[in-house]
Structure 1
Amino acid sequence: MNLPTTCLGPKLSFTRVVDSEAHLTTFQTQMMLTGGFDAVYCKMLMSTLSGAALEWFISLPDEHITSFDQFATLFREQYLVNKAPVRLSYDVFDFMQYQGESMKDYLNRFAIQLVRLKPTDEAMIVHAFVKGMLPGPFSESLLRVYLIA
């Protein structure tokens, strides 16, 4: 099956360094814009592989892959060790403000971590945020408010 001429393809490359699940998610998100059939998805995913990952794909027996779901499963299994470790809510306590980092930048980085971790305990989130702040007048005032409440 030939690829549609309007199909630009995904703008990413898998080299065995990144999380295979993240690669598949990014790939599928980009491919949703182009549409296409199972065969198109398979060919386009193959085009994102490079280095040892491409060698792995080439080593598969001819006609071994019959659907994109099967390809994605094989890909996940092959690169399972690349899967990012599951982060837990209390991992947010390891998050600290950098020396010289503005409060706005720290807050933005902290917010990104919250999205990734999905903690639900508001008091824990506030405590972790304050704990990670560098000492100073602002953090001390927050601590006073937090301890009084």
Structure 2
Amino acid sequence: MSPFTNEIEQTNPPRRFTMPYFTPYKEEEDQDRHLKQYRSTMILYRSNDALMCKIFATTLQGEVQDWFHTLPLQSIRSFNELSFVFTKEYSSNRSIKMTSNHLFNIKKNPWETIRDYVKRFKAEKAKIVGCNEGIATAAFRNGFPIEHLLFGKLIMGE
């Protein structure tokens, strides 16, 4: 028994259809990223709603596959509907896009070397798309104990 309608279940893949490779989706991953990758890979078949549904189900793994099989019988009528219930179920896994202000959360630990602090700070800064340099500099200084501020200016290249 399936959560797909009979119409979806009875639809066969097109002739010469070759199953593309998909990275299986696991519960802790970003569902938006998985859907984007899936849609990109299946772009030639996006008009075949039944195929989009059936193949998507094969990309789910582990507990997510178990979740899929708990959906009510014949409750999924389209890929948009399947995408919606999938996104709703796993929305807590969505990647949070950080802003430059995130850098104010980074503080130099008392036991941490300055080199390690700079390395950790730069690694976090690299994760921020379009990071504002002024905010980054202020956050870097803010994370230092007061006695290290002068030395911090030298490291950041000011």
Question: Which TM bucket (shorter chain)?
Answer: 0.5 to 0.7
TM-score (norm 1): 0.65
Query: After alignment, is 43-52 or 88-97 more displaced?
Result: 88-97
CA contact (8 A) 1:20 1:82 kept: yes
Are residue 30 (structure 1) and residue 16 (structure 2) matched?
Answer: no
Q: Is the 8 A contact 1:18 1:82 kept in 2?
A: yes
Cα RMSD after superposing both structures? 3.7
* Structure number with larger C-alpha Rg: 2
SS in 1 for 2:42: helix
- Trace 1:1-149 onto structure 2 (pairs within 5 A): 1-2=12-13, 4-10=16-22, 12-32=23-43, 35-36=44-45, 37-85=48-96, 87-95=98-106, 107=122, 110-112=125-127, 114-115=128-129, 118-119=130-131, 121-128=132-139, 139-142=152-155, 145=158
The TM-score normalised by the length of structure 2 is 0.62
Separation of aligned partners in 1, 2:83 and 2:133: 37
Once residues 95 and 26 of structure 1 are traced to their aligned partners in structure 2, the CA distance between those partners, rounded to angstroms, is: 32
The percent identity for this pair of structures is 24
Structure 1 Cα separation of the partners of residues 78 and 142 of structure 2:
49
- Is contact 1:95–1:110 with CA below 8 Å preserved after alignment? no
- Structure 2 runs not aligned, ≥5 long: 1-11
Letter in 2 for 1:124: I
Count residues in correspondence: 138
> CA 1:51/1:126 → structure 2, altered by over 3 Å: closer, same or farther?
same
